[in-house]
Amino acid sequence: MKSTRPKPPMSARKPSSRPRHQNNSSKDPVQVYCRVRPMQYPTDISCMNIINDQAIVITPPESSTNFRNANSKEIQTIFSKVFPPETPQSEVFNIVALPLVDNLIHGKNGLLFTYGVTGSGKTYTMTGDVNDGGIMPRCLDVIFNSISNYQAKKFVFKPDRLNGFDVQSETDAMLDRQTEMHAGLTTPRNVKGRIKRQDSDNDSNGLASRSPDESQALSVEQDNVYSVFITYVEIYNNSVYDLLDDEDPRGKPMQSKIVREDGNKNMYVHAVTELEVKSAEEAFDVFQRGQRKRRVAHTALNAESSRSHSVFTIRLVQGPLDCDGENIIQDKRVICISQLSLVDLAGSERTNRTKNTGQRLREAGNINNSLMTLRSCLEILRENQTQGTSKIVPYRDSKLTHLFKNYFDGEGRVRMVVCVNPRADDYDETIQVMKFAEMTQEVQVARPTVSKLDLGFTPGRRQANKIFKEARSRLEKEGKADAADLDVDIGLVYSLGGPFPQLDINNPHSDNIITSLMQYLEQRINKRNLLRCDLEKKQTEFRKMLLSMEQENITYRVENASLKACNAQQKKKLTALEGHVCKTETQIDSLLRKLNNANETIKTLQQELRDRDLALNQRLVDKQKVKQKYNSKIQLETDKMNRELEMKLRQQRQHLQSQMKDKDEKLRLVKRILVDSDDNDNINSNDIRIQSKEQTPMNNNDNKEMINGQNATSGDFLLRSRRDKIPVANLRHRRSQSADRWVDHRPGAMVPIGTVLQPLMRRRRSITRLTSPKEIVDGASRYCLMAQEQDTDGELETKLYKGDILPTSGGGAQVVFNDVECLKQLSPTGRRKRSGIQDNNKDFPDKELSNAENKRPRV
């Protein structure tokens, strides 16, 4: 293969000290195929040219790094096969994957993975679409077409969770099938991550609606039974996740799995879900379940870019039948397990083109790291094989290489499909893919060997058992009574062995060929002698069986004659019994007639008895009606008398109530006369005027009341009468002016005045500190209420309402307002808002001063 790196001039080349690779007949190189994707847009420029079916020439465009470095030579790359853009999916499958499927059926492992940059067609090559399936669905079609008539019943082979399988009996397998059926009827399947998942509407590119291809089938071992198991995992951020795990609830992240080594030194994913499928449709359903959980995301190069490596593994388990060709041998050691891993690698990409940030950038870094680890492992393998070194291959640096360690160590055939996009914009990424493909083809992988345990059974026993069953069923249909108990040894139907080996003797000294031929003929002669002895033995047994059958025939004849004599005697007895039966039937008929007459008499008597009972019941009903009639009359008379008595009592009660009202009215008049006489003696109504506000007493036993009223005209407070329950002020109460003490009443939302025009109150107490009216009378004699409002000009105006505090005769206090003081602030330079104010100032020059200054408090 020609190198993808540009070659230096002859003068700059150094002689290679690497030993030339020696071809080993027991090893095969990794086969690498190239598939070119069609151009997506007509305006795209291609940088590739397909020379033939094995070579591609790549020309660097002007935008590439190599062109800018003045290294723009054409590069030629050779592959095992180059698939042009118009190549159908069927041709890719037949050339790449069909040999791996044939190896799988014959017990050999295989690994096939697609590699390329993002958007180069890897997923399409692996899965395809509804109209044209890819490698994976076609592999399933061929497998089930080949083993359709030789599949074992479900749960006969059961995974042991250690990368192996157990063989169950038919009873245990039936119990597992019933359990699965019951679970499927009662519990629905559960099938979400932090990044975007594929929608269920996609149905994995429509694979569920595609029809399986039944045109291709491979030859299988007819004396074996087969079962197909599916596992589907993804490697995301260097962690392995099970895409078929139904125990994972929606909305929670999946749990990562561990890669382990089994007892046969094979790598596997521990505790992975392994499902048994019986058809290609069922396998597609399993694939769709896992595909919905696979991580994809939108990037600048692909709308649905795979952010993980997906590994879809098909495991084929085959077990031999017993010597009769009827049942599977219940031995775990004789089963053969082979697997085919289909790997869809995530695209290698550069972050400066995909514009990835955050989580997408971290994913891209892990993808590129795993691909670089794969490349490092292959480079060290190639170096160990070509140079004879024994360097340690770093399989454990990545979960991807750790999982496929056995394939590169010679446990199966490895093939790779390189998907490329011929666009000139992808040249820099594509050239790296070509370098990886060049290096991969130089790696040698040992040919897989199948070690099957030879049980010594002659081939063809399944077909012989089938012929025997068909013959027995034919005999049963023809009415042979002993066909079900027919026991025939079908060993004579066996052949003498396999076909004669093809030997090509070109050298007279080929002793090994003659020796192998002699061994084959001796084995054939021994088997022939064995079959001849078996034939003689069966002939002797057949003669003995014929003699025994002849003796049984004579015995049956004697028994037949004796049975005929007994039969004649039984017929005479039957004739006598028939006559006796006739007489007995006549007697039975006469007894039946008598019985019918007696039944008629009984019915007549029963009818008479019912009639008498009805008559008696009618008399009782009539008596009950008469009794009810008289009871109703008595009840009516009683109700009438009760009503008359109640009416008389009501009239007497009303008469007594009227008398009581007259007496109460007279007493009320007498009381009013007495009250009016007392009021006239104590109050002089011509000298005082009453104007106040009533206040209800604070408690039932407290007669203290406080009256806070304002007279707009004179400010005087007068007393009411005792009949109105208003406390009377003591007009004679006077105090000295020098002992005046003020009660200051200011509301909470007051605007500070900020002027010297303040009321002069030397001894004052805030009303908020007073707890009872008694403290007002004892501690203060003057009252000041402050209020703020706007005048007609919009100026702030403060008014002080002043009054005297007088005690009341009931023990309370009242206020008599006798002065109002108005405080207002005016600007000497401000303009008057209305001309009327200026005119008033001209007419009254003395009013230029503030009203608050003219009206000073009289304290």
Return binding residues.
116-123
Count the neighbouring beta carbons within 10 Å of the beta carbon of residue 18. Answer: 9
Helix 427-440 to helix 359-387 angle, to the nearest 10 degrees?
Answer: 30
Q: For residue 38, what are the CA distances in angstroms to 57, 90, 423? A: 16, 17, 9
Residues 6+ apart with CB under 8 A from 141: 133, 212, 213, 214, 216, 280
CA-to-CA distance for 692 and 816, rounded, in angstroms? 10
CA-to-CA distance for 850 and 113, rounded, in angstroms? 105
Residue 825's nearest CA partner among 771, 765, 752, 772 is: 752
Please give the structure tokens belonging to residue 521.
């003929």
What does the DSSP 8-state code read for residue 355?
A: T
Q: Is the separation of the CB atoms in 534 and 491 below 8 Å?
A: yes
Count the neighbouring beta carbons within 10 Å of the beta carbon of residue 417. Answer: 26
One-letter amino acid at 40 equals Q
CA-to-CA distance for 79 and 24, rounded, in angstroms? 20
Burial group, residue 692, by CB count within 10 angstroms (0-12, 13-18, 19+): buried
Which residues, in sequence order, are bridge partners of residue 341? Answer: 111, 313
Please give the structure tokens belonging to residue 381.
């393998």
Please give the structure tokens belonging to residue 316.
């084929």
CA-to-CA distance for 601 and 593, rounded, in angstroms? 13
Q: Is the separation of the CB atoms in 83 and 419 below 8 Å?
A: no
CA-to-CA distance for 532 and 494, rounded, in angstroms? 12
CA-to-CA distance for 196 and 359, rounded, in angstroms? 12
Sequence ranges of the binding site for ATP: 116-123
What is the 3-class SS of 830-848, one letter each residue? Answer: CCCCCHHHHHHHHHCHHHH
CA-to-CA distance for 137 and 93, rounded, in angstroms? 10
CA-to-CA distance for 211 and 279, rounded, in angstroms? 12
CA-to-CA distance for 494 and 201, rounded, in angstroms? 54
Taking 3-state DSSP, the helix, strand and coil percentages for the chain, each rounded to the nearest 5, stand at 45, 20, 35
No. of helices (H) and no. of strands (E), the chain: 18, 27
CA-to-CA distance for 666 and 659, rounded, in angstroms? 11
